[in-house]
């Protein structure tokens, strides 16, 4: 059985789209490949200030020995952090072929968080991916954006949703008019646009529910303690499936996400999505069927979303298969 090595800066204690995408893909790859990992768990680490769930690896110079001990047939470098960088430098030095993936708009994130101009950070990411035989990206929008900045070998690697986990059968309310709420599920950090969600005015009989954890949670609670918002923290499994299915409308407030798996989870649950125009959401939401793309979140937009047929919403999830995504990953592997 051929060996695949995944090199990543992510760990199991993180909850985000990168981690879920990699885990789901690897679970399917394991049917045909012997999959190995190099992660921060293989090194000495310190927690990143502010984002303590993110570990910064220190003795990354040891990556060469770890890679040679695995002796993979294929190498995929999933992130551009210290572990990914060490993997890239070692592979470049040895002349090994590899693929990479571009999951996050880090230049934009660094600008939003620390006011670092994107013109200073994009050259690093372009250089990082320059020798990759295939740079896997989630959407056409990201492809166009990166091509305009000189990135090469870009391949659309879509996403999927597990409809066994997320589906309308988890809806307890049915036609009974119990508690009504507008939902957002997100990692709770500043770049996710969650202030926009918290500030939405909702119809009198509704309130807002935010599911997720992260470094911005306590600040949000303090800022919006007088609002009609329930902060539920991190939820998983059946509890999360039920929260999705019982929602009336889902809000996706991020303008910088390269995809947004939570939108697919909501759609699979039969819950229409409201998201901003001119974002990655435009390639996920079928406007007027699975949700609406809007300029602003307001009561009018919510009321429009409430008119959509939930059965039609959930059918849209059939377009998004993890098996299809994994085939794209497999078909673009290159021998080391």
Tell me the per-residue pLDDT of 248-301, one tens digit each, with 9 for 90 and over.
999 999 998 889 999 999 999 999 999 999 999 999 999 999 999 999 999 999
How many other CB atoms sit within 10 Å of the CB of residue 255?
A: 19
* CA R_g for the chain: 20
**What CATH number belongs to 3-160+322-331?**
3.40.50.2000
How far is 206 from 303, CA to CA, in rounded Å? 11
Comparing 150 with 45, which gets the higher pLDDT? 150
Q: Are residues 3 and 34 in contact, defined by beta-carbon separation less than 8 angstroms? A: yes
**pLDDT at position 103, please?**
84
**pLDDT at position 190, please?**
87
Q: For residue range 180-206, what is the model confidence (pLDDT) as tens digits?
A: 999 999 999 888 999 999 999 888 889
**CA-CA-CA-CA torsion sign (181, 185, 189, 193):** negative
**Identical topology for domains 3-160+322-331 and 168-319:** yes
pLDDT band at 165 (very low <50, low <70, confident <90, very high): very high
Identify the top-confidence range among 35-44, 50-59, 63-72.
63-72
Res 16 pLDDT > 90: no
How far is 171 from 228, CA to CA, in rounded Å? 22
Q: Note the pTM of the prediction, 2 decimals.
A: 0.87
Q: Would you tell me which CATH number, out of the four given (3.40.50.2000, 1.10.760.10, 3.30.565.10, 3.20.20.70), belongs to the domain 168-319?
A: 3.40.50.2000
Residue ranges of domains in the chain: 3-160+322-331, 168-319
């Amino acid at each position: 059985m051929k060996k695949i090595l995944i090199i990543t800066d992510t760990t199991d204690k993180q909850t985000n789209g990168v981690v879920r995408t990699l885990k789901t893909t690897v679970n399917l790859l394991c049917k045909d490949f012997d999959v190995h990992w190099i992660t921060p768990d293989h090194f000495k680490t310190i927690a990143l200030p502010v984002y303590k769930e993110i570990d910064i690896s220190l003795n990354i110079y040891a990556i060469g020995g770890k890679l040679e001990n695995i002796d993979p047939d294929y190498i995929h470098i999933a992130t551009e952090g210290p572990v990914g960088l060490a993997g890239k430098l070692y592979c470049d030095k040895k002349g090994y072929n590899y693929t990479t993936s571009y999951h996050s708009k880090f230049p934009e994130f660094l600008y939003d968080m620390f006011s670092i101009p994107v013109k200073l950070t994009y050259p690093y990411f372009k250089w990082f991916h320059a020798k990759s035989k295939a740079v896997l990206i989630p959407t056409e929008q990201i492809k166009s954006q990166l091509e305009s900045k000189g990135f090469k070998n870009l391949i659309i690697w879509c996403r999927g949703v597990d409809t066994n986990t997320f589906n309308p059968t988890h809806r307890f309310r049915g036609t009974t008019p119990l508690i009504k709420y507008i939902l957002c599920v997100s990692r709770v950090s500043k770049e996710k646009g969650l202030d926009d969600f918290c500030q939405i005015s909702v119809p009198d009989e509704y309130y807002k529910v935010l599911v997720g954890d992260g470094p911005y949670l306590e600040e949000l609670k303090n800022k919006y303690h007088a609002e009609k918002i329930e902060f539920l923290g991190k939820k998983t499994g059946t509890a999360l499936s039920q929260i999705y299915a019982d929602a009336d409308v889902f809000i996706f407030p991020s303008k910088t996400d390269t995809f947004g798996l939570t939108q697919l989870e909501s759609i699979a649950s039969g819950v229409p999505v409201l998201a901003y125009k001119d974002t990655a959401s435009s390639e996920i939401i079928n406007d007027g069927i699975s949700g609406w793309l809007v300029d602003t979140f307001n009561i009018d937009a919510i009321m429009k979303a409430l008119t959509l047929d939930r059965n039609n919403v959930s059918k849209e999830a059939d377009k998004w298969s993890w098996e299809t995504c994994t085939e794209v990953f497999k078909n673009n592997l290159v021998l080391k």
